[in-house]
Amino acid sequence: MVEAVVVLTDTLREEFDLSEVLYDLTASCVELLDVDTAGLLLADEDGRLHTVASSHEGTRLLELFQLQTDEGPCVDCYRTAAPVSCRDMSSAGGRWPTFTPQARSEGVRSVHAVPMRVRNQVVGGLNLFRCRSGTVSEADLAIAQSFATAATIGILQTRAKHSSDVLNEQLQNALNSRVIIEQAKGYLAERHQESLTEAFARLRNHARSHSQRLTTVAREVVGGALDLA
């Protein structure tokens, strides 16, 4: 847990990569908390949300669906700057009439979202999905909020050091990196006949064990310069 917080707040290093920090955030939630998948939405300077990281492919599609329909827990969480919880998706049809059936078709039975917020500044939301109904413990929700806050502090610190254009630059870089990472995941999944989740783990483990940036490894895989056999 300490290692995860250090990664989330270590924005002073020269090679700081926002997309990698956000992917680490979703992966740490799945590894350390009683949740099955996690996804993250980040807002641009006009308040429009974008999906920038997810622990699983199905989660990424659910996040995109929230944006397309302008409906769902992470959207509500960002707008209200407050946590959003639903312990049983079977009773959430009135709350999210379009999102609920889609989430249930993906196996989601309960969901929790926490804001990426520091004081009155909200930059996005972190979604936590479970394949069973019920609530996440208060301790796990507190840890999730701590992770989200730590990442937010890192993002805001980086922005404060540079010009106002850094917000758009950070977001665009994160979106570009996500495309490369998703391409690498697809390539590895096809090559090794494994799931996208397993492919992402292969990609992330190599980056960590070789002290490389996730985006750099993904580009080498897509470009054919690296074979993660």
| Residue 203 included in any domain | no
- What the block records as the tokens of 175 is 């979106």
- What the block records as the tokens of 10 is 């270590």
- Predicted local distance difference test score (pLDDT) of residue 10: 61
Residue 5 has pLDDT above 80, yes or no: no
- Predicted local distance difference test score (pLDDT) of residue 204: 83
Structure-model confidence comparison of residues 52 and 9, the more confident one: 52
List 86's β-bridge partners, or say none.
111
Cα(40)–Cα(220) distance, integer angstroms: 25
| Residue 198 included in any domain | no
| Residue 26 included in any domain | yes
- Predicted local distance difference test score (pLDDT) of residue 7: 63
Residue 52 has pLDDT above 80, yes or no: yes
Within the chain, strands assigned E span 37-43, 49-54, 84-86, 110-118, 121-130
pLDDT in tens, 79-115: 999 999 999 999 998 999 999 999 999 999 999 999 9
- How many structural domains compose the chain? 1
- Predicted local distance difference test score (pLDDT) of residue 166: 56
Q: How far is CA 161 from the centre of its chain?
A: 24
- What the block records as the tokens of 34 is 């009683």
- Predicted local distance difference test score (pLDDT) of residue 226: 82
| Residue 190 included in any domain | no
| Residue 194 included in any domain | no
Tell me if 28 sits within 8 A of 150, measured CB to CB.
no
Please provide the average confidence, as pLDDT, over all residues in the chain.
Answer: 84
Residue 57 has pLDDT above 60, yes or no: yes
Percent of the chain residues past pLDDT 70, beyond the cut: 85
Cα(78)–Cα(115) distance, integer angstroms: 6
How distant, in Å, are the alpha carbons of 59, 94, 149, 164 from that of 129? 8, 19, 19, 34
Structure-model confidence comparison of residues 165 and 66, the more confident one: 66
β pairing state of 121-130 and 110-118: antiparallel
Q: How far is CA 200 from the centre of its chain?
A: 13
CATH of the domain at 43: 3.30.450.40
| Residue 192 included in any domain | no
Top mean-pLDDT range of 26-35, 55-64, 161-170: 26-35
| Residue 95 included in any domain | yes
Tell me if 148 sits within 8 A of 134, measured CB to CB.
no
Tell me if 77 sits within 8 A of 125, measured CB to CB.
yes
Cα(228)–Cα(210) distance, integer angstroms: 12
- The boundaries of the domain holding residue 118 are 2-162
| Residue 25 included in any domain | yes
Comparing CA positions, the residue from 110, 146, 149, 114 lying closest to residue 130 is 110
Count CB atoms within 10 A of the CB of residue 225: 9
pLDDT in tens, 146-196: 889 888 887 777 666 555 555 566 666 666 777 888 888 888 888 888 888
